């Protein structure tokens, strides 16, 4: 799957440039055939304003949030986008640039702090700002919650308690309420995991959930709380100034049951250092927990390589900078549930289909070594998606992702996590986004459905398009092109 595509024209710069919002939805020109059952809205979040006046924002995650919507209805497609409006006087950022997801019957645009923004998914209007601290003991939650079949939302967040007691809290927000009250009012902390280091909790971006377990990976990228507490009051300081690496802890896995008692496994699962942003999936199999992850090797923080000045360099410079950054790898880790002291020194993983190992050491720690599912030099499989409604927390075959070539998104990839076979969609001078999987109604196969991605093709007459791919073969079914560039988007959802 390693990409040999080069980008000497540096067309990727266009996805990091400011655009105007639209006054009304604009029609798209459709080529190909959009499946007749595909009617709904693709909602996505990303930065859209990369400077204020003459003052540029410096980091990829700093641009002001822009919400995008492609509406698909009766074979027609329209595109709309709107900037967010913010309340002044907030000390921690509420720039909901990362994702949008439902809670009950409402939709929220989010970053990773305690502020989430309720939006109208039709008009893209900002409805209200919600401070999660009013309901939960958390200082923020990730932009990657899990949602159960009944609509219950689970998430994980840092908690900086009284006397600097640190914990990672798993929170639960119930589904839509019969009495129409706001489910957030009934949210609660269900499990608390201790931090390995006093004063320095790890940064987290997502977590794993199986039918019966939560999986939390404590990575060596740390939040320096003293810097965090002062950053918001120092002019010019940003949340990027709060991060630092721990070069000795490696990476710790924590496992806890989902039942109300929230039993935390006392076993110390350890492995070498990596950065982790995205869990792909996790599941239980024959007494083991299988955890598939998009990792970046080492403790050096990947976000340090995502400054706009670097991403907007000439292609040769972009490549040089990526050579110095942590290297990506899709990995499978396997955690044994049943551990006996007399099994010291042996590999405890007996699943026949994986080479991942877990070895019990004399100090009681269990050292994990992964099976590599995909690896290519400076070629990341990132922004992973699965057939979530069918495979969340279950044994599965297919993951879909955005291919990053030296951090530049230039292809869409399908990965069979069992056979390691890959499929690629790629087109000259095209810059796609995270592919969202939408299942065909009544499908019986895991990969029977479509992938939706927003693609930017800078030189084209209509430089932005919604791409519809057949998820089985990764071939193009249709594209809906609009007469505007669409800046980079991180995450989003399909609302049928």
Q: Annotated binding site for Fe cation, which residues?
A: 144, 205, 278, 491
Rounded to the nearest whole angstrom, what is the least distance from the CB of residue 144 to ligand L2QA6LS6 in the complex? Answer: 9
Query: Considering only 3-11, 361-369, 404-412, 415-423, which stretch makes contact with ligand L2QA6LS6 by CB under 6 A?
Result: 404-412
Q: How far is the CB of 446 from ligand L2QA6LS6 (least distance, A)?
A: 25
Which of 71, 329, 382, 410 is in the footprint of ligand L2QA6LS6 by CB under 6 A?
382
**Residues 154 and 110 sit within 8 Å (Cβ to Cβ):** no
Phi, psi torsion values for 214, nearest 5 degrees: -105, 145
Q: From the list 34, 43, 404, 451, which residue makes contact with ligand L2QA6LS6 (rule: CB under 6 A)?
A: 404
Burial class (CB in 10 A: 0-12, 13-18, 19+), 362: exposed
Candidate segments 49-57, 105-113, 130-138, 182-190, binder of ligand L2QA6LS6 by CB under 6 A: 105-113
Q: Closest approach of Cβ 151 to ligand L2QA6LS6, in Å?
A: 24
Rounded least distance, CB 113 to ligand L2QA6LS6, Å? 4
Point out which span in 65-73, 147-155, 348-356, 486-494 binds ligand L2QA6LS6 (CB under 6 A): 486-494
264 is written with which tokens? 């935390």
Binding mask 207-226 for ligand L2QA6LS6 (x = CB under 6 A): ----------------x---
- Per residue, the 3-state secondary structure of 216-234, as one string, reads EEECCEEECHHHHHHHCCC
Nearer to ligand L2QA6LS6, 107 or 431 (CB): 431
Least distance between ligand L2QA6LS6 and beta carbon 294 (Å): 7
Smaller CB distance to ligand L2QA6LS6: residue 354 or 433? 433
Pick one of 1, 65, 132, 302: the residue that binds ligand L2QA6LS6 (CB under 6 A).
Answer: 302
Least separation in angstroms between residue 142's CB and ligand L2QA6LS6 is 8
Sign of the torsion formed by the C-alpha atoms of 234, 56, 482 and 4 = negative
Which residues fall in the annotated binding site?
A: 144, 205, 278, 491
Choice from 277, 301, 381, 437 touching ligand L2QA6LS6 (CB under 6 A): 277
CA distance 378 to 380: 6
Residue least distant from ligand L2QA6LS6 (Cβ): 140
- DSSP-derived secondary structure for 341-375: GGGTTSB----TT---EEEE-TTSEEEEEPEEEE-
Q: Residue 388 phi/psi, 5° resolution?
A: -65, -45
CA proximity to 138, closest of 61, 192, 213: 192
Q: Cα(first)–Cα(last) distance of the chain, in Å?
A: 32
Query: Any contact of residue 77 with ligand L2QA6LS6 (CB under 6 A)?
Result: no
Choice between 144 and 254, CB closer to ligand L2QA6LS6: 144
Q: Rounding to the nearest 10 degrees, give the CA dihedral for residues 395, 150, 204, 398.
A: 30
Distance of CA 213 to the CA centre of its chain: 20
- Contacting ligand L2QA6LS6 (CB under 6 A), which of 41, 64, 117, 139? 139
HSE, CB side, 13 Å, CA atoms: give it for residue 463: 16
271 versus 295: smaller Cβ distance to ligand L2QA6LS6: 295
Q: How far apart are CA 339 and CA 280, in angstroms?
A: 25
CB of 66 to ligand L2QA6LS6, least distance (A): 13
CA distance 444 to 347: 36
Binding residue (CB under 6 A) for ligand L2QA6LS6 from 78, 117, 126, 158: 158
> What are the CA-CA distances from residue 44 to residues 222, 452, 487 (Å)?
28, 11, 11
**Range in contact with ligand L2QA6LS6 (rule: CB under 6 A) among 20-28, 36-44, 92-100, 365-373:** 92-100
> In angstroms, rounded to a whole number, what is the distance separating the alpha carbons of residues 331 and 356?
9
For ligand L2QA6LS6, the closer of residues 45 and 249 by Cβ is 45
Binder of ligand L2QA6LS6 out of 409, 458, 464, 487 (CB under 6 A): 409
Number of residues lying near ligand L2QA6LS6 (CB under 6 A) = 26
* Cβ-based nearer residue to ligand L2QA6LS6, 367 or 494: 494
Query: What gap in Å lies between CA 447 and CA 434, rounded to an integer?
Result: 17
Q: Least distance to ligand L2QA6LS6 from the beta carbon of 311, Å? A: 7
Stretch of 171-179, 284-292, 313-321, 483-491 contacting ligand L2QA6LS6, by CB under 6 A: 483-491
Of the candidates 85, 81, 91, 19, which has an alpha carbon nearest to the alpha carbon of residue 50? Answer: 19
For residue 50, report the phi and psi dihedrals to the nearest 5 degrees. -100, 5
Q: Which residues contact 275 (CB under 8 A, 6 or more apart)?
A: 219, 220, 221, 295, 296, 298, 299, 300, 301, 302, 326
Please state the separation of Cα 316 from the chain's center in Å.
Answer: 28
291 binds ligand L2QA6LS6 (CB under 6 A): no
What whole-number distance in Å separates Cα of residue 202 and Cα of residue 197?
8
Binding site for ligand L2QA6LS6 (CB under 6 A): 61, 92-93, 97-98, 111-113, 139-140, 158, 223, 228, 239, 242, 277, 302, 306, 382, 404, 407, 409, 433, 488, 490-491
């Amino acid at each position: 799957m390693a990409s040999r595509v080069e980008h000497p024209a540096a067309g990727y710069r266009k996805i990091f440039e400011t655009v105007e919002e639209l006054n009304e939805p604009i029609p798209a020109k459709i080529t190909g055939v959009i499946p007749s059952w595909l009617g709904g809205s693709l909602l996505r979040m990303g930065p859209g304003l990369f400077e204020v006046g003459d003052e540029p924002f410096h980091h990829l995650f700093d641009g002001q949030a822009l919400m995008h919507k492609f509406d698909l209805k009766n074979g027609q497609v329209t595109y709309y986008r709107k900037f967010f409006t913010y309340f002044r006087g907030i000390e921690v950022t509420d720039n909901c640039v990362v994702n949008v997801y439902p809670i009950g019957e409402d939709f929220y645009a989010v970053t990773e702090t305690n502020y989430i923004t309720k939006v109208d998914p039709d008009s893209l209007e900002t409805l209200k700002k919600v401070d999660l601290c009013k309901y939960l003991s958390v200082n923020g939650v990730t932009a990657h919650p899990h949602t159960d079949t009944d609509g219950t939302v689970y998430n994980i967040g840092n908690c900086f308690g009284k006397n600097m007691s640190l914990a990672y809290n798993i929170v639960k927000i119930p589904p839509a309420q019969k009495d129409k009250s706001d489910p957030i009012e009934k949210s609660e902390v269900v499990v608390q995991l201790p931090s390995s280091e006093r004063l320095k909790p790890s940064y987290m971006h997502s977590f794993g959930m199986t039918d019966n377990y939560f999986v939390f990976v404590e990575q060596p990228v740390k939040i320096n709380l003293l810097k965090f507490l002062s950053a918001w009051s120092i002019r010019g300081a940003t949340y990027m100034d709060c991060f630092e690496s721990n070069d000795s802890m490696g990476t710790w896995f924590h496992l806890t049951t989902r039942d109300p008692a929230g039993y935390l496994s006392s076993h110390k699962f350890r492995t070498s250092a990596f950065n982790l942003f995205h869990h792909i999936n996790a599941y239980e199999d024959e007494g083991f927990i299988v955890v598939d992850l998009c990792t970046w090797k080492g403790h050096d923080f990947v976000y340090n390589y995502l400054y706009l000045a670097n991403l907007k360099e000439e292609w040769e410079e972009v490549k040089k900078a990526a050579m110095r950054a942590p290297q990506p790898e899709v990995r499978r880790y396997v955690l044994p549930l049943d551990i006996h002291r007399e099994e010291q020194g042996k590999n405890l993983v007996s699943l026949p289909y994986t080479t991942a190992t877990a070895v019990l050491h004399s100090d009681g720690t269990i050292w994990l070594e992964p099976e590599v599912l995909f690896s290519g030099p400076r070629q990341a499989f990132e922004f992973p998606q699965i057939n979530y409604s069918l495979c969340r927390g279950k044994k599965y075959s297919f993951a879909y992702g955005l291919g990053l070539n030296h951090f530049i998104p230039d292809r869409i990839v399908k990965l069979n996590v069992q056979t390691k076979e890959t499929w690629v969609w790629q087109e000259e001078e095209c810059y796609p986004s995270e592919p969202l999987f939408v299942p065909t109604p009544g499908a019986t196969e895991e990969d029977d459905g479509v992938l939706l991605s927003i693609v930017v093709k800078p030189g084209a007459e209509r430089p932005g398009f919604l791409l519809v791919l057949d998820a089985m073969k990764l071939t193009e079914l249709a594209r809906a092109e609009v007469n505007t560039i669409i800046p980079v988007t991180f995450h989003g959802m399909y609302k049928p």
